[in-house]
Amino acid sequence: MNILTDIAALRETLRGEKNIAFVPTMGNLHEGHLALIEQANRLSGCVVVSIFVNRLQFLPHEDFERYPRTLEEDCRALSALNVKTVFAPNEKILFPTPQEFLLALPPVADILEGKFRPGFFRGVATIVLKLFNIIQPDLAVFGKKDYQQLHIVREMVRQLNLPVNIVAGETVRATDGLALSSRNQYLNGTQRAEACHLYQTLLRIKQKIISGCNDFQALQENASNNLAQRGWKVDYISIHRRSSLLPAQAPDQDLVVLGAAWLDKTRLIDNLEIEPPIFLK
Amino acid sequence: MNILTDIAALRETLRGEKNIAFVPTMGNLHEGHLALIEQANRLSGCVVVSIFVNRLQFLPHEDFERYPRTLEEDCRALSALNVKTVFAPNEKILFPTPQEFLLALPPVADILEGKFRPGFFRGVATIVLKLFNIIQPDLAVFGKKDYQQLHIVREMVRQLNLPVNIVAGETVRATDGLALSSRNQYLNGTQRAEACHLYQTLLRIKQKIISGCNDFQALQENASNNLAQRGWKVDYISIHRRSSLLPAQAPDQDLVVLGAAWLDKTRLIDNLEIEPPIFLK
C-alpha cells in the first residue's frame, strides 16, 4: 500500500489510471468509513482514500486539536481492505499559504448544520474541491450520515461542472441504532447508552409520517422536547425535502428527517430518509 | 472544425486527448486573441478555444448586452488557425440554474480592477474554474493585457490545486501602442487617436523608473493629472509588485505599472512590466 504525503508523488502514482474512486476521510476510521471504502472497491479497481483533518471545517471553539488522529491503525484497516493508495498530506502540503480562495455557498449551506456551525460547509466544500483537483477521481463516495454535506457536495459538482460522480453510502449503525461516528468515542458509558435515543427519536418521526401524520411542526417540537427531557441539548430535529434539502411543507414528498443534539460536550448528528407514504400503500 | 455547444459532446470529443491547451475568450476575436491561440498551437496539438460572454463578470450597469458577439467571424478566424475544437455554449448550458457556488477571492481581487469593478474577478474566477472542469486542459493561455486577471487565475490554480499550467501571452498592440481590445471598437476617430496615450503614459513611467526615479507616488499622480488634462477620466495609474500584485514600495523589485481610464463611455486598461534597474546596469 502506498501512503503518499506529497501531491506530485500522488499524481505520478495515479497517472494513467482509469476509473479512480475516491473516499475522503479525516481518519480515525470506523466501520462506517470502511463500508464506504468497500463500496468504492466494488465500483473501481483503483481506490484512493485521503486522511486529512481539515482545519477549515472546524470552528474556532471546536475540537480540531483533540480530534482523534490514528494514522497507523487507519492504514492497517485500509491495507486489510486492499486499498492501494492512501493520501495523507500534512497541513503544509494542502495549505502552504493561508487558503484565501474559498467557496461561497448557496443558502442551503446556512440551515441545519450550517446554522449551528457557520463556515463548516465552506471549509468542507473547499477541501473537497482541492482534493478532487489533486486526485481527479472519476467517482467519490460520501456517507449519508453527513446528509447535508452529501447534498452540498452534489450541488457543488453540478454547479462547478466537476467531472466526478458522487456516490452515496448508507449509514452504518451500532446494534442499538446509533450511527457510527468518530465522535462517539468521546461518550462515557452512560452517554453511550443514551446516545441511541437520537436515532430512536428520528425513527419514531419516520414511522409517524409513514402512518399518515402530517403535522411536521408538532412532530419536530415533540421530538425535541422528549430529547431535552432525557438530558439532551437539541440543536435541531427537522423534516426536509430530500431534493432541495429545504424544510418540508407537505407530507407527499421524498423526505428526510435530520437531527443534531448534544450529550454534555459531545455533539451527535443523524438522519433518516423517509419514503413517501404514497409508495407504501 | 468542431463547434460544440454541449458539455457532454465536448468531453466526448476530448476523451483520450493528451496535452490539451485551452484559450478562454468572450469572442469578438482580434489579433490579441489570435496571438494567444498561435501560442497555444505551438504548445499543443489539441487546442480548445471557448467563446462565451460571461454574465457573471459584468456589473449591472456594464455593457453585457451590447458586448460584441461575432461567432461566425470568430469561427472563420479560428478555422484559419487550424483550431479543431471550439466550445461555444449558451447561458443555459453553463448556468442551467442560477450560479450559487461562487469563489471567494483574496484581497488582491479588491484592488485595481476589483476596486472599480466589484465582483468582476469573482465572476472571472468562477467561470474559469467551471471551464477548466469542463475541458480539463493541461495548459491554459491568458493574456498579460488583463494582468490582474492572469495573477488571480494563477493564484486560484495554486490555491485550489488545479491540474493546469497557466501560460502568459504578451499583449498585442496597434502600431501606435494601443493594446488591442474588443472595447476599442467603441471608440470614435478622435478617441481612437487619443487612446494610445494610456500606453504612452505607462511607457513614460517605465522609462523614468528605469532611469532611477523612485518617487512612485509622484509618478502616479503626475501621470493621472496629465491624462485628466487630455480629457481622460482616470480610475488608476498604479505601480505594483509583479509577484504579489500589491502596491510597490521600493524600486528594486520586479514591477508592473497598471492603468485604467475612460474616454467618454469607453473604459480602457493597459499595463507594462518593468525590469528592475539592477538587471539593466
Which pLDDT tens digit goes with each residue over A9-49?
999 999 999 999 999 999 999 999 999 999 999 999 999 99
Say which residues have a Cβ less than 8 Å from residue B169's Cβ, sequence separation at least 6. Answer: B35, B36, B39, B141, B142, B143, B144
φ, ψ at A113 (rounded to 5°): -55, -40
**Total CB pairs under 8 A between chain A and B:** 68
Mark whether B240 is an active-site residue.
no
* Residue A239 cell numbers, joined: 423534516
Residue A71 and residue A49: Cα distance in Å, rounded?
A: 12
Residue B250 and residue B28: Cα distance in Å, rounded?
A: 39
Q: What residues of B are in contact with residue A107 (Cβ under 8 Å)?
A: 100
pLDDT at A136: 98
Which one, of B32, B187, B55, B220, lies nearest residue B126 by Cα?
B55
Domain B182-273 has CATH 2.40.110.10: no
pLDDT > 70 in chain A, percent:
98
- Cα dihedral A40→A44→A48→A49 (10° resolution): 10
Question: What's the one-letter identity of residue B67?
Answer: Y
Considering only the C-alpha atoms of chain A, give the largest distance between any 2 of them, rounded to a whole number of Å. Answer: 57
H/E stretch holding B150 reads helix B147-159
Which one, of B118, B114, B117, lies nearest residue B155 by Cα?
B114
Nearest CA in chain A to B99: A159
Q: Give the closest of A97, A106, A129 to B160, CB-based.
A: A129
pLDDT at A279 over 80: no
| Domain covering A2-169 in this structure, CATH number | 3.40.50.620
* Residue A222 near residue A237 (C-beta atoms within 8 A): no
pLDDT at B59: 94
Task: Return the SS3 of B263.
Answer: strand
Which one, of B72, B64, B33, lies nearest residue B49 by Cα?
B33
Residue A254 and residue B46: Cα distance in Å, rounded?
A: 45
E strand intervals along B91-202: 102-104, 139-143, 165-169
* Residue B215 near residue B235 (C-beta atoms within 8 A): no
pLDDT at A280: 47
> Residues of B near A (CB-CB distance < 8 A)?
7, 11, 94, 97, 99-107, 122, 125, 129-130, 133-134, 136, 155-156, 159-163
Which residue ranges in chain B fall short of pLDDT 70? 252, 276-281
Residues paired with B257 in a beta bridge? B239, B272
Q: For chain A, what are the domain ranges?
A: 2-169, 186-279
Q: Give the closest of B122, B134, B162 to A133, CB-based.
A: B162
Q: What is the overall mean pLDDT for chain A? A: 96
Q: What is the mean pLDDT of residues A197-224?
A: 96
Say which residues have a Cβ less than 8 Å from residue B52's Cβ, sequence separation at least 6. Answer: B24, B26, B27, B87, B88, B89, B94, B127, B131
Q: What residues of A are in contact with residue B161 (Cβ under 8 Å)?
A: 7, 94, 130, 133-134
Neighbouring C-beta atoms of residue A204, cutoff 10 Å = 16
Q: What is the mean pLDDT of residues A82-104?
A: 97
pLDDT at A276 over 70: no
Output b/e per residue, B247-280; b: 16+ Cβ within 10 A: ebeebebebbbbbbbebeebbbbbbbebeebeee
Q: Give the closest of A99, A156, A161 to B159, CB-based.
A: A99
pLDDT at A277: 58
pLDDT > 90 in chain A, percent:
94
Q: What is the DSSP letter of A55?
A: G
A133 to B103: CB separation less than 8 angstroms, yes or no: no
Binding site, annotated residues of A: 26-33, 57, 143-146, 149, 172, 180-183
Nearest CA in chain B to A102: B104
B7 to A161: CB separation less than 8 angstroms, yes or no: yes
CATH architecture of the domain formed by A186-279: 2-Layer Sandwich (3.30)
Q: What is the DSSP letter of B184?
A: G
Output b/e per residue, A12-36; b: 16+ Cβ within 10 A: ebbeebeebbbbbbbbbbbebbbbb
Residue B132 and residue A104: Cα distance in Å, rounded?
A: 18
Termini Cα distance of chain B = 50
pLDDT at A278: 56
Task: Return the SS3 of B188.
Answer: coil
CB-count exposure of residue B243 (10 Å: 0-12, 13-18, 19+): exposed
H/E stretch holding A201 reads helix A189-210
B161 to A130: CB separation less than 8 angstroms, yes or no: yes
Say which residues have a Cβ less than 8 Å from residue B155's Cβ, sequence separation at least 6. Answer: A100, A101, B106, B108
The distance of Cα A77 from the centroid of its chain, to the nearest Å, equals 20
The β-bridge relationship of strands B102-104 and B139-143 is unpaired
Residue A247 and residue B24: Cα distance in Å, rounded?
A: 40
Q: What is the mean pLDDT of residues A82-95?
A: 98
Task: Return the SS3 of A196.
Answer: helix
pLDDT at B250: 75
Binding site, annotated residues of A for ATP: 26-33, 143-146, 172, 180-183
Q: What is the overall mean pLDDT for chain B? A: 96
Location of C-alpha cell 484512493 = A48
A104 to B102: CB separation less than 8 angstroms, yes or no: yes
A278 vs A190, higher pLDDT: A190
Q: Give the closest of A100, A102, A106 to B100, CB-based.
A: A106
Residue B271 and residue B31: Cα distance in Å, rounded?
A: 18
Residue A193 and residue A55: Cα distance in Å, rounded?
A: 31
Binding site, annotated residues of A for beta-alanine: 57
pLDDT at A142 over 60: yes
φ, ψ at B9 (rounded to 5°): -65, -40
